[in-house]
Amino acid sequence: MKDIPDPKDPDPIRYTFLASLTESMVIEYNHKISIGMRRGSRPATEEEEEFVRTDPNPPLKEVPYWAAGVPAVDEWVTFLRNGNLVKLQDTFGACHICVDSHQLANI
C-alpha cells in the first residue's frame, strides 16, 4: 500500500478524499492482519490462531508518504445521500469529510 502513487489531484477536496480513503484502507487491512486474516491465505485453524495473534512480525501495511501529509479541507464537506453533516472521528472526519465508510471493513 505504501507504493500507491501520489495522484497529485489539483482539486483539494478530491485529493483529501483520496488520501483519507488510502489511510482508511491501510487501517482496515492492518486490522484484518492483526486478527489473522492474511490476504491469499485460508482462515487460521484453532492450533494456528495463537501464533497468528502473537506473530512478532505481522505483514502490516503502511500509509503512503503523500497520504499522511495531505491537509484537511477548510470547511466540512458531506458525501452522504441525504446531505446531512455527521462529524465522525475517523480518517475522513479528521480531514473534515463526512462519508459513510462503514463498508470499508469489508475490503
Does some domain include residue 1?
no
**At residue 1, does pLDDT exceed 70?**
yes
DSSP-derived secondary structure letter, 36 = T
What pLDDT does 80 receive? 86
Domain of 52, in residue numbers: 12-106
Place of cell 479541507: 73
pLDDT digits (tens, 9 = 90+) for 41-92: 666 677 776 666 666 667 789 999 999 899 999 999 998 888 888 887 788 8
In a domain, 67, yes or no: yes
Residue 4 placed within a domain: no
In a domain, 5, yes or no: no
Number of domains comprising the chain: 1
For residue 3, is it within any domain? no
C-alpha to C-alpha distance for 1 and 92, rounded to whole angstroms: 18
pLDDT of residue 54: 67
Q: Does residue 77 fall inside a structural domain?
A: yes
Tell me what pLDDT residue 31 has.
Answer: 86
Please indicate, yes or no, if residue 102 is contained in any of the structural domains: yes
Assign 18 to helix, strand or coil.
Answer: helix
pLDDT 10s digits, 90-106: 888 899 999 888 778 77
Residue 59, number of CB atoms within 10 A of its CB: 10
